[in-house]
Amino acid sequence: MKVLVTGGAGFIGSHVVEKLIQENYQLVVVDNLSAGTLENIHKDAKFIKMDIRSHQLLELFMEEKFDYVIHLAAQTMVHKSIAMPDYDCDVNISGTVNLLEGCRKTQVRRLVFSSTAAVYGDVTALPIMENACTLPTSFYGLSKLTCESYLALYHKLY
């Protein structure tokens, strides 16, 4: 089985890649290295330096024919999302839609998406339950919540 991990050069992504390689999956990592590092990329994974917003992403999907996608790539800095909401939206929302189109057009079997507790905003009760009200207080939280809605609608429509 072939798996694409976006953001696979980051802390979480590199650990996901390592576990999947131990389980004998064939791994492709896409990362633009804006936050991740080359040192985090597993030697047995194929690495492609690419931004998830790139139009070349669809070509990669068509060439590699992924079975599964684990989507961890994102702009994750809250302060950056507030200072540059257009950038946050472009990376997190447009990048995710670009990825979803690759999945849809190449019949990827399953997609795993990493959201954030920031979709819930400032909470008073812990632990946060998944059915808690969402009220993001940053564009980062809002962009991840928007991606959740895109994922739900893509699942319903396609």
SS (H, E, C) 56-78: HHHHHHHHHCCCEEEECCCCCCH
* Mean of the per-residue pLDDT values of the chain: 97
Mark whether 140 is an active-site residue: yes
Give the tens place of pLDDT for each residue, 62-72.
999 999 999 99
Alpha helices in 73-121 (DSSP H): 78-83, 85-89, 95-105
Give the tens place of pLDDT for each residue, 6-37.
999 999 999 999 999 999 999 999 999 999 99
Catalytic residue among 68, 120, 140, 150: 140
Give the tens place of pLDDT for each residue, 119-131.
999 998 899 998 9
Q: At what angle are helices 95-105 and 139-157 packed, to 10 degrees? A: 20
Contacts of 125 (CB under 8 A, 6+ apart): 132
Give the tens place of pLDDT for each residue, 84-110.
999 999 999 999 999 999 999 999 999
